[in-house]
Structure 1
Amino acid sequence: MTCATVFDTELPIVQAPMAGVQGSALAIAVCEAGGLGSLPCATLPPDALREELAAIRARTRGAFNVNFFCHVPPEPDARREAAWRERLAPYYREAGLDADATAGGPSRQPFDAASCEIVEAFRPPVVSFHFGLPAPDLLARVRGWGAKILSSATTVEEARWLEAHGVDAIIAQGLEAGGHRGHFLSDDLSLQAGTFALLPQIVRAVRVPVIAAGGIADARGVAAALALGAAAVQVGTAYLLCPEATTGAVHRAALCSDAARHTALTRLFSGRAARGIVNRLMRELGPLDAAAPAFPLASAALAPLRMHAEAHGSGDFSPLWAGQNASGCRAIAAAELTRQLAQGLA
């Protein structure tokens, strides 16, 4: 099974959707280069979602992917929020900030009827999901306009579950991948495996095409994944320095430094395990501190600290999302990077 069979692209390259560090420009550049560009939609309010989808439709004729989260929003827990703010209080005092301060920031919303209605008007050829799949009625609406459906699996069990629920392809997300883990059947991180251990197991376990993700940063990594049975690869971290990405200055500086070689899974920034470059907050609180509120509520109390630190050129309180292999990060056009990733493929 080839990538053209799955989503009708020239190259077997999927640009990973990366909320907070990209918009339509990166997706369009990858599409125009022959890959599958992706738009992260979980943090986009309705008007912004329409604008970004309209921009993609206007500027590319190729297939493109829109990505949504499928989490169940938690009930606010006042005690847990208070405990979290108490953990952060010394940092507020150090910065001279009001410990009860709040700051606006992008919320993370799951795919629902309202977002489905907006997206349906644009009929994107590919729709991908993270943290499982949406409700059956919403999934049926997506199928109704002919979209190919993708979702992430971090274990063989999740891959089998996704196949049983009718996805067209499965993204095998290895432990090396940057950003949020896509696990949805279990929160046990000891079940997570590296890409090149997970990929062949999933390929053997399912009949639908499999897309490899995590730690793939150059053409040799792409070729290795395809040799192990992947129909395509998904690459995220390598695109973070491209001019089309909206990666902030602090984040870009971290990716260009020795710090990028040390990443860890952390719940501190959102409440859910995600991989990022280790910074002061992760070192001092421990990356998996249980005090962090449930996803996505942990980010609210951190927002003032992040804004203050970044204004002073520091990423001490920022989610510096990155995978374990940042060696492919270069400040080159996304189209050129896409072509380089596919270099040497027949």
Structure 2
Amino acid sequence: MWPNHSLLDLLHIEHPIVQSPMAGAQDSELAIAVARAGGLGSLACAMLSPDQIREQVALFRQAVSAPINLNFFCHEDLRLEQEALQEWRLRLMPYYQEYGLDPNQELPKAARAPFSPVHAELVEAIRPEVVSFHFGLPTADLVERVKKSGALVMSSATTTAEAVWLQEHGADIIIAQGVEAGGHRGMFLDNKVHTQVGTLSLVPQIADAVSIPVIAAGGIADGRGIAAALALGACAAQIGTAYLFCPESKISPLHREALGQSRSDGTALTNLFSGRPARSIRTRLMDEIGPLSDSAPVFPHAGSALSPLRIEAEKQGRSEFTSLWSGQSAALGRALPAEQLTLVLAQEAQGVCKRLGLAGATHAPLDQP
């Protein structure tokens, strides 16, 4: 049915579709729906406590018999320097004044924690089939603990050099994250945003450079994109933004509205919301300050000073200080239930594979629910 079965055989799933883990935008409900349709459901854990992770995985296990991917950040936990915070506060001062907010008010702490021994212990207890990482890999001892638990290790690469590094340091599967992808860039060997690579170029180069399976990510929102990824040497496609349109996603009404109005040039890479480059729908803040600013504090602390502004603006129905994560293909999005969307994507991809004569794509299309 599919030209590449490597991921399907490893995980015993039906379709080469991986639901992207999206912190703050989903819970187990989306992962369950994708898994029911035969894809790989993922749970974003970077903003969840250990108890919340246990609860969400339990809900998944109760609902469906399928593999699950638990995703963690593994960034260096850098200390926020007060001088940097003051510079950022000063840059945001005009907006605080506009909204009548106290610029010196106490700020919330950043909520994204890197993978730690506590998380490794959790993985050992839960025993997920897949553990994926963003921003490289954790320390070698933690990677070894994850692998000994029986989980496959995946991580994102934004360059060929990163993919080779990941393979050399224990990754079992590479996610080739093209620059079109929404949300945070997984870059970790350097911070050169201007040299980031598109999916169409990145996937075949990584596939040629490593000997482990490669999953394509970035700008893939329909069956044409999935088939293209498979033709380029990927074993599957990871899809994020397309699933934000589904009723199972937990994005705000403002985010959903912005996605519905998206266009091909409507996003940009920005570090304003977190301190790391990430692709968002353009907002007033991004347009006025510039999407990338040296004033933004280190990840994940940039968002703390924006939080009061975001909350106040959202009360007024405005998203000018809200991170509206989105890939470049949001205009292709469809507001379907996630299980149905997964089957539609698989059906479309099979049709394109068959027309292209890709090996194995000879079976009848799937029935939709």
Give the TM-score normalised by the residue count of structure 2. 0.91
Separation of aligned partners in 1, 2:343 and 2:120: 32
CA contact (8 A) 2:128 2:151 kept: yes
- 1:68-217 equivalent positions in 2, closer than 5 A: 68-102=72-106, 104=108, 107-217=111-221
Of 229, 234, 253, 1:225 maps to 229
- Other-structure match for 2:353: none
Per-residue deviation, 1:246: 0.2
Per-residue deviation, 1:102: 3.8
Q: 1:251-274: CA deviations, max 9, x gaps?
A: 001001146741000000000000
CA contact (8 A) 2:96 2:102 kept: yes
Structure 2 residue 339 is the aligned partner of structure 1 residue 335: yes
Cα distance change on mapping 1:38 and 1:106 into 2, 3 Å = farther
Separation of aligned partners in 1, 2:263 and 2:204: 31
Structure 2 residue 308 is the aligned partner of structure 1 residue 311: no
Separation of aligned partners in 1, 2:60 and 2:203: 31
Q: Residue 185 of structure 1 aligns to which amino acid in structure 2?
A: L
Q: Which moved more, 1:226-235 or 1:137-146?
A: 137-146
- Other-structure match for 2:251: 247
Cα distance change on mapping 1:221 and 1:214 into 2, 3 Å = same
CA contact (8 A) 1:281 1:317 kept: yes
Separation of aligned partners in 2, 1:120 and 1:325: 37
SS at match of 1:134: coil
Separation of aligned partners in 1, 2:20 and 2:166: 19
Per-residue deviation, 1:321: 0.3
SS at match of 2:48: coil
Structure 2 residue 288 is the aligned partner of structure 1 residue 292: no
Per-residue deviation, 1:104: 3.9
CA contact (8 A) 2:270 2:292 kept: yes
Q: Residue 187 of structure 1 aligns to which amino acid in structure 2?
A: N
Separation of aligned partners in 2, 1:260 and 1:91: 28
Q: 1:131-154: CA deviations, max 9, x gaps?
A: 000111111111112111100000
CA contact (8 A) 2:262 2:331 kept: no
Structure 2 unmatched runs, 5+: 351-360, 362-369
Cα distance change on mapping 1:27 and 1:189 into 2, 3 Å = same
Per-residue deviation, 1:103: 5.1
Aligned Cα root-mean-square deviation (Å): 1.3
Q: Residue 20 of structure 2 aligns to which amino acid in structure 1?
A: A
Give the TM-score normalised by the residue count of structure 1. 0.97
* TM superposition outliers: structure 1 runs of 4+ over 6 Å: none
Separation of aligned partners in 2, 1:45 and 1:102: 23
CA contact (8 A) 2:19 2:39 kept: yes
Percent identity over paired residues: 55
Per-residue deviation, 1:121: 1.3
Q: Which moved more, 1:223-232 or 1:46-55?
A: 46-55
CA contact (8 A) 1:269 1:319 kept: yes
Residues matched between the structures, number: 346
Structure 2 residue 278 is the aligned partner of structure 1 residue 271: no
Structure 2 residue 325 is the aligned partner of structure 1 residue 321: yes
Separation of aligned partners in 2, 1:330 and 1:164: 39
Separation of aligned partners in 2, 1:260 and 1:102: 38
CA contact (8 A) 1:6 1:209 kept: no
Per-residue deviation, 1:331: 1.6
Cα distance change on mapping 1:49 and 1:103 into 2, 3 Å = farther
Cα distance change on mapping 1:315 and 1:273 into 2, 3 Å = same
